[in-house]
Chain A
Amino acid sequence: MTVTETKPPVAPTATEPASTVPPSRGSRFTGAAANYIDERTSISGLVKELGRKIFPDHWSFMLGEVALYSFVVILLSGTFLTFFFQPSMASVNYAGSYPPLKGLDMSAAYSSTLNISFDIRGGLLFRQIHHWAALLFIAAIGLHMLRVYFTGAFRKPRELNWVIGFVLFVLAMAEGFTGYSLPDDLLSGNGLRIIDGLIKGIPVVGTWISYLLFGGEFPGTKVVALFYSVHILLLPAILVAALGLHLLLMVVNKHTQFAGPGRTNENVVGVPILPTFAAKAGGFFFVVFGVIVLIASLFTINPIWTYGPYDPSPVSAGTQPDWYIGFADGMLRLIPPGWEIVWLNHTWSFNIIIVILVLPLFLGLVAFYPFIEGWITGDKREHHIAERPRNAPTRTAIGAAGVTFYAVLWAAASSDLMATHFQITIEGVIHVLQALFFLGPIIAFFVTKRICLGLQKKDHEIALHGFESGRIVRLPGGEYIEVHEQLDDYERWRLVSYNEYKPVMLRPDSKGRITAGERARAALSRWFFEDRISPVTTTDIERSAGHH
Chain B
Amino acid sequence: MAKNTTARTSGTANRRGRRHPLATVALLVIGLLSTGGAYALFTGTASAAPATVHTQASTEEGKKLFAANCATCHGLSAQGVAGVAPSLYGVGAASVDFQVGTGRMPLANQGPQAEQKPVQFTNEQIASLAQYVASLAPGPGIPSSKYLQANGNSSTGAELFRINCAMCHNVAGAGGALTEGKFAPALSGVLPQHIYEAMVTGPQNMPVFNDKNLTPTQKADIITYLKYLDKNPSPGGFDLGNLGPVAEGLFIWIFGLGAVVGVTIWIAAKAN
Interfacial residues, chain A to chain B (CB-CB below 8 A): 1, 57-60, 62-63, 66, 99-104, 117-118, 124, 128, 132, 135-136, 139-140, 143, 186-187, 271, 280, 284, 287-288, 291-292, 294-295, 297-303, 305-308, 311, 313-324, 326, 413-417, 419-420, 423-428
Within the complex, the shortest CB–CB distance from B207 to chain A, in Å, comes to: 14
B residues 221-272 with Cβ under 8 Å of A? 225, 228-229, 234-240, 242-246, 248-253, 255-257, 259-261, 263-265, 267-269, 271-272
Choose one: A62, A326, A423, A424; the contact of B249 (CB below 8 Å).
Answer: A326
| A296 CB to nearest B CB, Å | 8
B7 close to A (CB within 8 Å):
no
Q: Is there contact, CB below 8 Å, between B249 and A322?
A: yes
Once bound together, how far apart are the Cα atoms of A271 and B271, in whole Å? 9
Tell whether, in the assembled complex, residue B261 and residue A59 are in contact, meaning their CB atoms are under 8 Å apart.
Answer: yes
Interface hub of A284, A314, A317, A413 (most chain B Cβ within 10 A)? A317
Question: Is the pair B155, A101 in contact by a Cβ cutoff of 8 Å?
Answer: yes
Residues of B within 8 A of A423 (CB): 181
Least Cβ distance of A375 to chain B in Å? 33
Q: Is the beta-carbon distance between B155 and A303 smaller than 8 angstroms?
A: no
On whether the beta carbons of B176 and A318 are closer than 8 Å, the reply is: yes
Given the contacts A187-B171, A303-B234, A317-B170, A427 and B180 also touching, CB distance less than 8 Å: yes
Give the chain B neighbours of A291 by CB distance below 8 A: 28, 256, 259-260, 263
Chain A residues whose C-beta falls within 8 Å of the C-beta of B166 in the assembled complex: 186, 314-317
Given A59-B261, A308-B171, A323-B248, verify A102-B155 contact (CB < 8 Å): yes
B168 at the interface (CB under 8 A from A): yes
Q: A139-B256, A326-B249 are in contact. List 6 more A-B contacts (CB 8 A).
A: A99-B228, A118-B235, A291-B256, A305-B235, A306-B242, A317-B175
Chain B positions within 8 Å of A, measured between CB atoms, are: 28, 32, 36, 112, 154-155, 157-159, 162-163, 166-172, 174-181, 183-184, 225, 228-229, 234-240, 242-246, 248-253, 255-257, 259-261, 263-265, 267-269, 271-272
Tell me the smallest distance from the CB of A70 to a CB of chain B, in Å: 9
- In the bound assembly, the distance between CA atoms of A124 and B234 in angstroms comes to 11
List of B residues within 8 angstroms of A63 by Cβ: 261, 264
State in angstroms the CA–CA spacing of A60 and B245 once bound together: 27
Q: Are B155 and A420 in contact (CB under 8 A)?
A: no
Residues of B within 8 A of A324 (CB): 249
A100 and B155 contact, Cβ closer than 8 Å, known pairs A62-B268, A287-B263: yes
B236 lies within 8 A of A303 (CB): yes
Set of chain A residues within 8 Å of B167, measured between Cβ atoms: 314-317
A146 to chain B minimum Cβ distance, whole angstroms, is: 12
Query: CB distance A301 to B159 under 8 Å?
Result: no
- With both beta carbons as reference points, the residue of chain A lying nearest to B184 in the complex is identified as A317
Task: List chain A residues, Cβ under 8 A from B260.
Answer: 66, 136, 140, 287-288, 291
Residues of A within 8 A of B255 (CB): 295
Residues of A within 8 A of B253 (CB): 139, 323
Judge whether B32 and A298 touch: CB under 8 Å. yes
B225 to chain A, nearest CB (A): 6
Contacting residue for A100 out of B157, B179, B242, B244, CB 8 A: B157
Given A57-B271, A308-B171, A300 and B252 touching (CB < 8 A)? Answer: no
